[in-house]
Amino acid sequence: MNFNDLQLFINENCLNVRKLKTQLTDKNFDELMKKFTYEEVISQLMSMENYKPLSSKYTSVYLTLLKWFQLDEKKGFRSSKTESVEKVKAMDAPELLKNKFLKEHPVGS
């Protein structure tokens, strides 16, 4: 996957993310790919897309992604790229979203 693929995904699936003032650059994409898998970025973008006050609270796609990944790490949802790459690559996008939802909303809570 490359920067153009991600931009196409955002344009087709993330209308609220597209409203943010500062969009991703090639350099931002390269930095994200050093720290996270493509699938993790897609999953986080979908979470951002579903956050209603996104455009009123945030202005940068890149900085918002970094902040949200940092928050997930503090909550224990993500340890490191090397530990999770194989697990994430084996999952498809709906499964990733389901797993993230279940971590955030445990059964019986």
The answer to whether position 52 is within a domain reads yes
pLDDT-wise least confident of 29-38, 56-65, 87-96: 87-96
Decide if pLDDT at 88 tops 70: no
* Domain with 94 in it: 3-104
Q: How far is Cα 69 from Cα 45, in angstroms, rounded to an integer?
A: 11
Predicted local distance difference test score (pLDDT) of residue 82:
45
How do residues 39-82 score in pLDDT, each as one tens digit?
999 999 999 999 999 999 999 999 999 999 999 888 887 655 54
Distance CA 104, CA 101 (A): 5
Classify residue 55: in a domain, yes or no. yes
- Range 82-97 average pLDDT: 57
Q: Is residue 109, in this structure, part of any structural domain at all?
A: no
Identify whether 88 is part of a domain: yes
In a domain, 74, yes or no: yes
Tally of structural domains, the chain: 1
Query: If we measure between CA atoms, which residue out of 22, 17, 23, 24 comes closest to residue 43?
Result: 17
Separation between Cα atoms, residue 53 and residue 76, nearest integer Å? 24
